[in-house]
């Protein structure tokens, strides 16, 4: 069933982009941020490529369904990150405006 391949793609996308988000939050705390970033990327790529490799035996349509699911998850993660950035920017602008009124 192609639906199962789509669900596997969603799972792979959550692993990949969730792992990226987790890595980015840990960079400031890390003693070796370059090593953390590189090892995280290699691990995430290995997991996703293994998933795609296993799905290729089911046919190109299953592989395409899982790839589309990963892209959907990417779109959702990017959208959530943009909303978070907008909120942080608006909060910092409000704070700057209130600091400027003190003098």
Each residue's pLDDT, cut to its tens digit, for the chain (103 residues) gives: 899 999 999 999 999 999 999 999 999 999 999 999 999 999 999 999 999 999 989 999 999 999 999 999 999 999 999 998 888 888 877 777 666 555 4
pTM across the whole model: 0.82
Look up residue 96 and give its two tokens.
């700057």
Contact 91, 33 (CB under 8 A): no
Average pLDDT, the chain: 91
């Amino acid at each position: 069933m192609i639906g199962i391949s789509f669900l596997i793609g969603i799972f792979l996308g959550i692993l990949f982009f969730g792992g990226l988000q987790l890595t980015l939050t840990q960079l400031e705390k890390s003693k070796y941020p370059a090593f953390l970033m590189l090892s995280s990327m290699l691990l995430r790529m290995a997991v996703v490529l293994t998933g795609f490799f296993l799905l290729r035996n089911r046919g190109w349509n299953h592989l395409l369904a899982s790839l589309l699911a990963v892209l959907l998850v990417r779109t959702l993660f990017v959208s959530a990150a943009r909303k978070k950035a907008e909120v942080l920017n608006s909060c910092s602008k409000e704070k700057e405006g209130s600091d400027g009124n003190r003098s």
